[in-house]
């Protein structure tokens, strides 16, 4: 499978950056979008550079109802089914969604065969969410997305990173994780850290 980051605070050359997150999942027989970033213009621009055909996106999972994850919904094809937390009926065999209610309702999406976990902002806590997925699926291959660690101390982030080191082989924090926290994850994970940004393509 391929994971293509379409929207993030950071972007590779020629791509546009913006506060938000969106990641495209290209599975063997299906294409799925996770979140849509904060605006249609940036999402559409980056998707065009990557030659993404939006008509092929069957589902768009929205992690939580905040503008920086829902702002690009208008870019989607009318054919695409938009799935908010607690709306997923399990119709895609390769995909699971786990919903957490506190402090806000937020869902994580898991690609079951590849053991990939996608998160939007991790408001319920990245360690709490990862632990729940780990309990169900065992050690993960990759966790990607925003970890909501802005304002956390280096020590706090380091402790979280060390816990996640036992839960996943690879990690790709971005968006609301915060630049200083991302650096800590890079130090803790070493070669198992993946730098993520708009325009990044990860093959699993």
| Residue 30 pLDDT class (50, 70, 90 cuts) | very high
Query: According to the model, what pLDDT value does residue 194 have?
Result: 98
| Residue 129 pLDDT class (50, 70, 90 cuts) | very high
- pLDDT greater than 90 at residue 102: no
Average pLDDT of the chain is 97
Strands (DSSP E) contained in 81-155 are 81-83, 95-100, 106-111, 116-119, 140-146
What distances in angstroms separate CA 163 from CA 47, 134, 196, 201, one per listed residue?
Answer: 34, 12, 20, 26
Q: Which residue, among 154, 53, 159, 168, has the nearest Cα to 108 in the 3D structure?
A: 168
The secondary element (H helix, E strand) that includes residue 157 is helix 154-165
Query: According to the model, what pLDDT value does residue 132 have?
Result: 98
Average pLDDT over residues 175-200: 97
Alpha helices per DSSP H over 57-96: 67-70
Query: According to the model, what pLDDT value does residue 184 have?
Result: 98
pLDDT for 63-82, tens place per residue? Answer: 999 999 999 999 999 999 99
- pLDDT greater than 90 at residue 105: yes
- pLDDT greater than 90 at residue 34: yes
Query: According to the model, what pLDDT value does residue 156 have?
Result: 97
Q: Kindly state the DSSP code that residue 88 receives in the 8-state scheme.
A: -
pTM of the model: 0.97
Strand pairing partners for 22?
A: 7
- Name 184's Cβ contacts closer than 8 Å, sequence gap at least 6: 154, 157, 158, 161
User: How many beta carbons lie within 10 A of that of residue 136, not counting itself?
Assistant: 11
pLDDT cut 70: percent of the chain above it: 100
Average pLDDT over residues 169-173: 98
What is the assigned CATH class of domain 2-203? alpha beta
């Amino acid at each position: 499978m391929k994971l293509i980051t379409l929207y993030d605070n950071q972007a590779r050359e020629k791509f546009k950056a913006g506060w938000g997150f969106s990641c495209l999942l290209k599975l063997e027989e299906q294409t799925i979008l996770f979140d849509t970033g904060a605006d249609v213009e940036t999402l559409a621009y980056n998707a065009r550079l990557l030659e993404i055909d939006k008509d092929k996106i069957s589902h768009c999972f929205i992690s939580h109802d905040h503008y920086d994850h829902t702002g690009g919904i208008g870019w989607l094809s009318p054919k695409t089914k938009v799935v908010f937390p607690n709306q997923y009926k399990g119709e895609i065999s390769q995909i699971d969604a786990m919903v957490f209610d506190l402090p806000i309702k937020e869902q994580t999406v898991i690609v079951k065969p590849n053991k990939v976990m996608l998160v939007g902002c991790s408001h319920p806590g990245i360690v709490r969410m990862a632990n729940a997925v780990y309990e169900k699926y065992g050690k993960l291959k990759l966790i990607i997305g925003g970890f909501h660690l802005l304002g956390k101390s280096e020590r706090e982030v380091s402790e979280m990173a060390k816990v996640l080191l036992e839960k996943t082989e690879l990690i790709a924090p971005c968006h609301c994780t915060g630049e200083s926290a991302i650096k800590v994850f890079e130090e803790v994970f070493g070669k198992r850290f993946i730098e993520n940004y708009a325009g990044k393509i990860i093959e699993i």
